[in-house]
Amino acid sequence: MRKTTSEKLIEGSLIGIGLAEAAHLTALFFKLPLRICAWIMVILFILALLAAVSPWLVRRITQGKRDKEKKEAGGQRIFKLFRLYPVLFVITSALILFQLIWNYRMQAPYTAGDITVETVQTMLAADGIYTVNPLTGQAFAVGMPLRIQILVLPTLYAVLCSFTGISAPLMCYGIIPCIVLLLSYLVYGRWAAYLFPKEGKKQVLFLLFAALIYQFGCYSGAMDGFNLFFGGYRGTAVRAGIILPYVLLCALQKKWGGVILCLLAEICVVWTFYGAGYAAATVGIVLGIRFIRQISIRLRQKKKA
Amino acid sequence: MVEFVRFLKNSYNSLTESGQFLMLFMVSLLLLWLIKEFEKKEFRQFATIMLLLLLCPVSVKLLLLYQTQFYGYENLWALLPMTAVLACAAVTAVSKISVRYAAERSRRKKTVSGKRERVYEILAVAALVLLLFLCGTLTPVKAMTEQDFDGDKLPEEVAEVFALLEISEEEGVFLLAPDEVAAWARIYSGRILLPYGRNLWEPKLWAYTYDVYMGDMEELHNWVNGTLATGSEGEEALREEEMLLSYCASAGYDYLVFLAERDSGENLRSAMENQSEYLYFAKTDKYVIYRLS
């Protein structure tokens, strides 16, 4: 089955996390400086991009016209939705846009229990990965737990900061949360298509409600909206907003490639060495439901026979 | 057992004391079970089983063991597909209301005008938005909005202090400051070094390091924050202030930052006047900065 553009973007970002993790672990275990890690990351990204684009290029050359027609049909879908339900479409888009602007500019970060930006600044200042204590900037007396050192997000943000010149607080508290929020809406866009196939109006309405649930639901640290609006750069926000809803969707649709990507991405962004991770638990429960249903069907068939 | 039940209660409260989305989730799930035409049965079953697992103390204990008791109960709620279930139920409810309206009109042999149907739909959406609002909040966490943040996402009063420091690009600077300044120092720049990290007053952060601090760091922390209780007065208190200042100078702390009201205290002021290692450097509305001479 061909993947949609949003699926490509979601899975592409999860693959990006995986590639960044590979570069990060190489630099961590070989004690390479951050700038070398950054170049390894860039090379891996370029190679992955080439690997992704080349089949598309080959297809375009061999069956160019047909592909073009398909692309036009895909692009027309959003325009069609806008033409059919302009008010609903505009309200939903405006709300999401407001949240993105709010996330980028107006909200205050929730830093309790988190040292991501300190770690990014330490990496940039020391040009190394966990060479000094991020909390003090001084040399380690004993060290840092390995389960934290293997997490990729601080290194990825440090690389982004060093290439773009954007300050670490702005990158982590402003830009990254916007990207995570946007990807989260792409995931819920896929949920809308799964729950209400070929019902454009319901799909847009679903996204509107998802945006409102995020907006009104950020009253507790355990809510997804809170994680995305006040700590969108954290691994837990990536897990709550992207990985968990996407892994559940993929498991329900039996898209095992997506499931594996999510399981691996979770290991890269949050502490899963304590337990096997939430994505694995989600998939396990879906498989359990399926298993029980199959057994009950068989038992019923036996009874009938 | 009593301890565990108390732990569950506290964690459960953290999710429900400021909003009622959990209750709304249960109502939504009930709605999805009542609708016979709902096709995504597996999704509905998953949401129900997950809810039961998260409410039953035995399964909660098992899930906590699954994550080796590392994360708390409140973290487990991330497993609940809250957004998907609520949004799905809301859309289904809107469509059911408009279908019901059309059926009712045709039963009464009245024509179903598209305009009127749309008005009903809008009313249904508005009612559900109101319900979401009433069960949730518009003021996320009060503590979040108390400070003013600058363009670089740092509290303005604190950023003002950092902007005044002369930070060496090669060696960095050592800073001793009250918690509200020290908390943002390493977020502002990796070249600001601290004698102790945020984990000294934020115990959750001990998970990030195996390093421990000596007792004198605790004393230094309390002193700079103005919470050091020595019980001494007069000459003795002054001598203690002088000793701590001398310790800071010998440890090579480049900048000392105090709250303006603490700086105007008699003992600290006298101690500052009696020594020559630290000189007055700058002042903001809230803080006074001294620099190692």
Would you state the pLDDT for residue A248? 97
Q: Which residue of A has its CA nearest to B196?
A: A136
The rounded distance, in Å, linking the Cα atoms of B192 and B198 is 13
Least Cα separation, residue B127 to chain A (angstroms): 12
Nearest to B209 among A133, A196, A282 (CB): A133
pLDDT recorded at residue B145: 47
Average pLDDT over residues B96-116: 76
Instruction: Out of A121, A196, A244, name the one closest to residue B78 (CB).
Output: A244
For residue B224, the surrounding DSSP H or E stretch is helix B215-225
Tell me the chain B residues in contact with residue A111 when contact means C-beta distances shorter than 8 Å: 183, 187
| pLDDT (average), residues A75-96 | 81
DSSP character string of B176-200: E--HHHHHHHHHH-TTEE-SS-GGG
Residue with the bigger pLDDT between A67 and A288: it is: A288
Q: What is the mean pLDDT of residues A212-224?
A: 87
User: Which of B22, B39, B83, B86 to mutate against chain A (most A CBs within 10 Å)?
Assistant: B83
Q: Contacts by A84-87 with C-beta closer than 8 Å and gap 24+?
A: A84/A200, A84/A201, A85/A200, A85/A201, A85/A204
Would you state the pLDDT for residue A28? 93
For residue B196, give the nearest of A130, A118, A135 by alpha carbon. Answer: A135
Q: Is the pLDDT of residue B151 over 70?
A: no
> How far does the CA of residue B189 sit from the closest CA of chain A (Å)?
6
Q: Tell me the C-alpha to C-alpha distance, in Å, between residue B143 and each of A107, A134, B152, B188.
A: 12, 25, 19, 21
* Chain B partners within 8 Å of A142 (Cβ): 209-212
Rounded distance, CA A164 to CA A193, Å?
Answer: 36
Which pTM value belongs to this model?
0.91
Residue of chain B whose Cα is closest to the Cα of A104? B153
CA distance B245 to B241: 6
* Confidence label for A1 from pLDDT (cuts 50, 70 and 90): low
Mean pLDDT for B43-49 is: 95
A&B contacts, CB < 8 Å: 242
Among A residues 100-159, those touching chain B with beta carbons less than 8 Å apart: 107-113, 115, 117-118, 121-126, 133-138, 140-145, 148
Mean pLDDT of A98-120: 85
**A34-43 pLDDT per residue, tens:** 999 999 999 9
Q: What is the per-residue pLDDT for B69?
A: 67
- Best CA proximity match to A240, nearest among A230, A228, A229, A249: A228
Banded model confidence at residue B38, pLDDT cuts 50, 70, 90? confident
What confidence tens digit (pLDDT) does each residue in A240-257 have?
999 999 999 999 999 999
In chain B, whose CA is at the least distance from the CA of A110?
B144
Q: How high does pLDDT run on average in chain B?
A: 85
pLDDT at site B126: 92
The number of helix segments (H) and strand segments (E) in chain B equals 13, 5
CB spacing of B153 vs A169 below 8 angstroms: yes
A149-202 pLDDT tens trace: 899 999 999 999 999 999 999 999 999 999 999 999 999 999 999 999 988 889
Is residue A109 scored above 50 in pLDDT?
A: yes
Q: Which region among A22-26, A212-216, B234-238 has the lowest average model confidence (pLDDT)? A: B234-238
Counting residues of chain B whose pLDDT is more than 70, the rounded percentage is 91
Query: What are the chain B neighbours of A117 within 8 Å (beta carbons)?
Result: 186-187
- Tell me: pLDDT of A275 over 70: no
Residue A145: pLDDT above 90? no
How many residues would you count in chain B? 293
Model confidence pLDDT, tens digit, residues B54-68:
988 888 888 888 877
**pLDDT of res. B142:** 46
Q: How far is A137 from chain B (nearest CA, A)?
A: 5
Minimal CA–CA distance to A133: which of A41, A28, A142? Answer: A142
**Looking at residue A174, what DSSP letter applies?**
I
B10 inside 8 A of chain A by CB: no
Residue in chain A nearest B88 by alpha carbon: A206
Name the residue among B43, B196, B199 with its Cβ closest to that of A252. Answer: B43
Interface probe, candidates A92, A131, A136, chain B, greatest B C-beta count within 10 A = A136
* Residue percentage of chain B with pLDDT more than 90: 40
Average pLDDT of chain A is 89
**From A53-57, A122-126, B25-29, B171-175, the region with the lowest mean pLDDT:** A53-57
Q: Which A residues, 186 through 215, put their C-beta within 8 Å of a C-beta on chain B?
A: 188, 191, 194-196, 202, 205-210, 212-215
